[in-house]
């Protein structure tokens, strides 16, 4: 009988028998994937709006050659404003949709799984409450702004190519179109604005909504707004001021100290916009808001740990 052991056979057997260690990031990754599966409006809403706008732009491109001939007679600065107007509209729509999608997502993030009782299934999995809440918070703070930016840039690029094809087909030059737009800088400015004014600055609003969604048994948006209305009403009665509601509104719409505009009506993606990341990151209001966001998320984690289905 051959009693000698084969080292290769033993190593293979031990490799098969040993369980594969789970990476620490895998539960978080699949939790984020779960949010994307269950909340398709995160990307379907901006895609639908972008498709409608692109269709409208396709129809309006018929009149583009005539507009370019008329614009050749006006000031270059005004030319830039007229050429960039549809591109600015796309960027503005994506900014507005970012805010809208984030508000409705956060208001339903923890409430929805308690309402449909799916929280019982998800709690049975080896995924901590901290991982789940952080995955939900990553949607408004990371995923939605990046999705909105990618869709906006894609639509703007298609608009630029379509406009160029229409102008070339009419025998006109495309040099004014490409030089006036500064497409690469416009895209970077949009990304910067989305990540600062529409992500970091309103973070406490989104995290507050997550906290309320983990506590309320119904009408989460109403319960989230009631404290704001109560505090604003008390301030108005006692001090005859509206500072609190102005502060909350500025957070929600993204009125952040993250850029300096030459004039109030300059759009964030205008090449004349001067970004000031040092001024933004050095703002005490930003860090106070982020500290509140962390506190709200900690409260949401604790609520999910002890809350059951509705």
Q: What are the residue ranges spanned by the domains of the chain? A: 41-306
Pairing, β 274-275 against β 259-260: antiparallel
Q: Give the residue from 42, 267, 226, 255 showing the smallest Cα distance to 138.
A: 42
- What's the token pair of residue 43? 């990307």
pLDDT on residue 15: 43
| pLDDT band, residue 258 (cuts 50/70/90) | low
Six-digit token pair at 120? Answer: 């019982």
Q: What is the pLDDT of residues 78-125, one digit of tens each?
A: 777 888 888 999 999 999 999 999 999 999 999 988 888 888 888 888
The mean predicted confidence, pLDDT, of the chain is 84
Rounded mean pLDDT, 266-270: 70
Asked if 85 and 150 count as a contact pair (C-beta separation under 8 A), the reply is no
């Amino acid at each position: 009988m051959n009693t000698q052991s084969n080292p290769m056979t033993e190593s293979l057997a031990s490799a098969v028998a040993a369980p594969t260690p789970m990476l620490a990031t895998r539960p978080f990754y699949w939790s984020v994937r779960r949010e994307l599966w269950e909340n398709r409006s995160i990307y379907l809403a901006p895609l639908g709006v972008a498709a409608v706008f692109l269709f409208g732009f396709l129809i309006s491109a018929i009149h583009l050659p005539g507009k370019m001939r008329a614009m050749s007679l006006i000031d270059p600065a005004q030319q830039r404003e007229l050429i960039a107007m549809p591109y600015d509209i796309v960027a503005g729509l994506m900014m507005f949709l970012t805010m809208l999608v984030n508000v409705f997502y956060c208001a339903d993030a923890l409430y929805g799984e308690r309402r449909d009782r799916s929280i019982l299934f998800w709690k049975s999995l080896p995924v901590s409450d901290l991982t789940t809440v952080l995955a939900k918070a990553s949607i408004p703070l990371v995923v939605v702004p990046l999705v909105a930016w990618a869709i906006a840039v894609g639509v703007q690029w298609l608009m630029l190519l379509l406009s160029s094809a229409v102008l070339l087909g009419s025998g006109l030059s495309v040099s004014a179109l490409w030089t006036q737009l500064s497409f690469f800088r416009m895209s970077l400015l949009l990304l910067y604005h989305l990540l600062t004014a529409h992500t970091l600055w309103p973070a406490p609003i989104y995290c507050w909504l997550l906290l309320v969604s983990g506590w309320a048994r119904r009408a989460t948006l109403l319960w989230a707004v009631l404290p704001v209305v109560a505090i604003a009403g008390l301030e108005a009665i006692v001090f005859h001021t509206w500072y609190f509601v102005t502060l909350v509104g500025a957070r929600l719409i993204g009125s952040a100290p993250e850029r300096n505009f030459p004039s109030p009506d300059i759009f964030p993606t205008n090449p004349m916009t001067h970004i000031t990341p040092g001024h933004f990151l050095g703002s005490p209001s930003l860090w106070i808001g982020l500290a509140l966001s962390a506190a709200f998320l900690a409260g949401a984690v604790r609520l999910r740990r002890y809350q059951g289905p509705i």
